Amino acid sequence: MPQSKLPIVVLISGSGSNLQAIIDATARGELPVEIRAVISNRADTRGLQRATDAGIATETLDHKAFASRGDYDHALMALIDRFQPGLVVLAGFMRLLTDAFTTHYAGRMLNIHPSLLPDFKGLHTHRRAIKENAAEHGASVHFVTAELDGGPVVLQARVPVHAGDSPEQLAARVLEQEHRIYPEAIRWFAEGRLRLDEDGHAKLDGNLIELAEELASGN
């Protein structure tokens, strides 16, 4: 019997390269998901065009049209829930989320962050890694909680930081790994293998994830 597809909604703010990786993996039959909608807080994004090109429904909800972050998140929740997703995927969604929002989607929202969490939470991760002479850098997929970039990590990929790296060079190396590990983590969730338990711990195949790291590294 073929596996039923998990409905997902993807939130973006920019170019949507991770969205494209998810679209491509789905088209290749590697991801048992149905992307029901792509939602952006900005209308002029390449990511929305990527979704349109793939025949996926798109919506724009401009955060500037709302008086407060809470008002925006309330409207965004209503919009997302119209599509009844089993998983919300943050793919470069550049908004701080309220506690009410993260609680509403607890255990069914993933994010990818361009660092080896818990190192370098927040913005400008590549610049900061170079400035602090980090030997390694990378990307992390994690469950979203109220703490910024603080939810349980489920999968990571490491890349070396080379002497003379610019932030842009390091970012490109990390982004290549993001495109590899994000579809993998989403696949785990869609297959029912990845879950957040009642104590807030990430589990894969029923086992606690203690070392959230892919063995393969970037060059």
Q: Give dist(CA 118, CA 107) in Å, integer.
A: 19
Structure tokens at 196: 């957040």
So which residues are the catalytic ones?
113
User: With contact defined as beta carbons under 8 Å apart, do 83 and 58 qualify?
Assistant: no
* CB-based contacts of 149, cutoff 8 Å, min separation 6: 111, 113, 117, 118, 121, 122, 142
**Is the bond preceding 118 in cis, omega lying within 30 degrees of 0?**
yes
Q: What is the DSSP string of 123-150?
A: S-HHHHHHHTT-SEEEEEEEE--SSTT-
| Site of tokens 């932030």 | 167
Q: Are strands 136-143 and 58-60 parallel, antiparallel or unpaired?
A: unpaired
User: With contact defined as beta carbons under 8 Å apart, do 19 and 12 qualify?
Assistant: yes
